[in-house]
Amino acid sequence: MKLTIIGTGYVGLVTGACFAEMGSQVTCVDIDAKKIDLLKKGDLPIYEPGLEKIVRENLVDGTLQFTTRLAEAVEDCGIFFIAVGTPPGEDGSADLTYVLEVARQIGMHMTQYAVIVDKSTVPVGTADQVTRVIQGELDRRGVDLPFDVVSNPEFLKEGAAINDFLKPDRIIVGVNTDRAAKTMRRLYAPFSMNRDKMIFMNVRDAEMTKYAANAMLATKISFMNEIAGMCEHLGVDVENVRKGIGSDTRIGYSFIYPGCGYGGSCFPKDVKALIKTARDIGLHPSLLTAVEERNNLQKQVLGDKVRFRFGPDLTGRCLALWGLAFKPGTDDMREAAAIVFLQDVMAAGATVQAYDPVAMTQASKELPGDWLASGRLTLMDDPYQVLENADALALVTEWKAFRQPDFKRMRQIMKTPILFDGRNQYDPEEMAEFGFEYHGIGREFQHRPHG
């Protein structure tokens, strides 16, 4: 099948590459000429395991193309995916400016019946707006072309997006006509070979499903972080609590790991947007508001622990930081807990030496230039190098490379062997055996170094 993906950000690029991998003829469109030039060479503007290989192979095979001109991709194309950004406005609402502009351009250029698929995360009612914009352009052109607008939200985890797309748990499709349903079923047939993974519903139902799913996962995270805070005051190890409740199949182990709070491009934005939607219809989203508030507070916990240990004035203190991305498996730093930690400790006078296995280039672009220019923050290319002269190490992102480090070597390098474990990666008793003073989340046991 021939399809066009508008937007080559994270969602658009993964979507286009994976459809091409299954044999569809895909053209990805973006107004960013530099990005398109990069992609035409097989170079990616983002990090996602396995994506570069698929992009390069399908470029060679001719099943994947990139252009800045939507008009070039329209010929004989009957499926358009809208995969542009929906950044949050000041009031938390999703900004649909890019989505509606793409809809306008589709209406300007389409030449036959088409299915327009909202792949971007958009509020309930967006498909109705997209329909009006496209119809308005068709009316302006004086042409009568049938079309359907479909909601097909993505459920991709950064760091595992290729597997999520190629082997999905479910494929949510919101449609209003049988014709659109038939087109979408044919398009996704290669992804449902073992069993039917497609769940059809009304368009507005699908739009809501995406927000509800992300809000539910965010709720689990904030709930566990709140329990972790209680555990610290009650002398309880939250890790034992996590294992105890996770063994209940009604709860499960996913998304109940206490830590520094959630980040990224989805959970924070989508919770805000759902809160705004609830308020717009006259409801008070008390639970969602609490989820967001808990997460904002949780991102300050690690910095609070550092100041509690060393005092409010961190002048003269050197801290090592492991992890800058908001989660392992990606270079995405949007809403990352590491940014809040850096703001907190540097405002208190500390200098920081930071390392991340993947996000170093992104960090040099996204972090404030004065942090680096002033010498308060130094980005280093080796996880052990950042430990030199360090008064303590803070782990913020739980990369696999950090799971079994050389603790003996770490203790020899560090000025003082103090570990602030923002993701509860390490066992407090084991850290004590290696001579580390350990501070975790919800397991604040003051193990002092031996000897």
- Tokens for 347, please give them: 């405002």
Q: Binning pLDDT at 50, 70 and 90, where does residue 447 land?
A: very low
Q: Is the pLDDT of residue 309 over 80?
A: yes
pLDDT at position 89 is: 86
**pLDDT tens sequence across 218-275:** 999 999 999 999 999 999 999 999 999 999 999 999 999 999 999 998 999 999 999 9
Q: Binning pLDDT at 50, 70 and 90, where does residue 198 land?
A: very high
**pLDDT tens sequence across 399-415:** 999 999 999 999 999 99
- Tokens for 369, please give them: 């230039």
Per the annotation, the verdict on 28 as an active-site residue is no
**pLDDT tens sequence across 244-253:** 999 999 999 9
Find out whether 424 and 257 touch, Cβ atoms under 8 Å. Answer: yes
Chain mean position to CA 51: 16
- Three-state SS for 49? coil
Rounded distance between C-alpha atoms, residue 285 and residue 271, angstroms: 10
* 383 closest CA partner among 362, 363, 365, 409: 409
Residue 7: left (phi > 0), alpha (psi -120 to 50), or beta? left
Rounded distance between C-alpha atoms, residue 110 and residue 103, angstroms: 10
- Tokens for 221, please give them: 């995270």
pLDDT at position 451 is: 36
- Tokens for 85, please give them: 């950004």
Rounded distance between C-alpha atoms, residue 158 and residue 332, angstroms: 8
Residue of 18, 28, 77, 266 marked active site: 266
Q: Is the pLDDT of residue 296 over 50?
A: yes
Rounded distance between C-alpha atoms, residue 451 and residue 446, angstroms: 15
pLDDT at position 311 is: 97
Exposed/middle/buried for 125, CB within 10 Å: 0-12, 13-18, 19+? Answer: middle
Find out whether 80 and 71 touch, Cβ atoms under 8 Å. Answer: no
Is the four-CA dihedral 394, 382, 367, 292 of positive or negative sign?
negative
If you average pLDDT over every residue of the chain, what do you get?
Answer: 95
Residue with tokens 């996000």: 359
